[in-house]
Structure 1
Amino acid sequence: MATTKRSTLNTPLIPEDITKDEKSLVRSYLLLTFIHKVFERDCRVIGKSGLFKTPQLYMELVSGATKKTSLMLQEVTRELTAHNLKITTVRQDQRGVEAKYSCRGYAGEMNIPWPGFRNEMMLRMRAYLGLNPELNVLPREETVEQMALSI
């Protein structure tokens, strides 16, 4: 579960607190950013590996998902701007992903632990690839271990 912290900046007017939808935008931005990087990397690896007889088919599949995430990331970025919401810092460590943001005079922080972040990434990635969300070929531990995430 993501946690958020809030602190106010010195402003003459009392701004509205960040809404649930705005927190959702921050979360989506983080997920889409990581997913996009993973898809780009996977596409490069498939093309260069020499292990596939028909790499172009797999690259086409992953490339299509990369394009979807790119479009969604552009839309989320537009929405962030429309809500006057800026993500100032994104960091990751052994515990998870942390983002600092500012919105209408508030400074906030979102922390998402790795297990939840990875699970949501996998669900979204399956959807972007057009795969059934219930089917999972790899055991849970292997799925988590395969994803080296960094932005």
Structure 2
Amino acid sequence: MATIAKRNREATQEELSLVRSYLLLTFIHKVFERDCRAIGKSGLFKMPQLYMELVSIGAKKTALMLQEVKRELESQNIIVSTIRQDQKGVEAQFKCRGIAGEMHIQWPSFRREMTLRMRAYLGLAGEFSIHAREESSNPVACPV
């Protein structure tokens, strides 16, 4: 969960949610772009264009959503000035209606939400719950 500094008392949950979405979408978009390049250059896939297309679709969806979040941040007078990452997680400094604030999100929470969102952008959200139920009811691994 995000830890919010005391001086954020002026920021609403909606405003903080926008900052969080901005951070997540920024990181997700970079991951999709990097993975698409890596798939193309790896030489490990027989048909890399198929996988690149799938990841590229996720990157395009993310870019559109990021563009919308940026518009919303601007309309609500929120400026994200600094984004840092370290071994603990992601930190953002922002101004909301001129009031300085910080957001800290630890890696486990950040990665979990990134994974859920990435699965949704790739159209895999429904398959996850079905796959997880199958694994829990049948502990024996299936050959692929």
TM-score of the pair, normalised by structure 1: 0.82
User: How far, CA to CA, are the matches of 1:94 and 1:127 in structure 2?
Assistant: 26
Q: What residue is the counterpart of 1:18 in the other structure? A: 11
Query: What is the deviation of 1:6?
Result: 4.0
Residue identity in the other structure for 2:41 = K
- Asked if residue 85 in structure 1 is aligned to residue 78 in structure 2, the reply is yes
Percent of aligned pairs sharing the same letter: 68
Kept after mapping to 2: 8 A contact 1:39/1:63:
yes
Q: What residue is the counterpart of 1:61 in the other structure? A: 54
Query: What is the deviation of 1:3?
Result: 1.1
Q: What residue is the counterpart of 1:105 in the other structure? A: 98
- The count of corresponding residues between Structure 1 and Structure 2 is 129
TM-score of the pair, normalised by structure 2: 0.86
Where relative contact order (Cα < 8 A, 6+ residues apart) is larger, the structure is: 1
String of CA shifts for 1:15-37, please: whole Å, max 9, x gaps: x9211111000000000000000
4+ runs of 1 displaced by more than 3 Å?
Answer: none
Query: What is the deviation of 1:120?
Result: 0.4
More helix as a share of residues:
2
User: How far, CA to CA, are the matches of 2:55 and 2:2 in structure 1?
Assistant: 28
Query: What is the deviation of 1:130?
Result: 0.5
Residue identity in the other structure for 2:48 = P
Q: What residue is the counterpart of 1:11 in the other structure? A: none
Structure 1 segments unaligned to the other structure (5+ residues): 9-15, 137-151
User: How far, CA to CA, are the matches of 1:99 and 1:24 in structure 2?
Assistant: 13
User: How far, CA to CA, are the matches of 1:88 and 1:4 in structure 2?
Assistant: 16
User: How much is the aligned-residue C-alpha RMSD, in angstroms?
Assistant: 1.4
Structure 2 segments unaligned to the other structure (5+ residues): 133-144
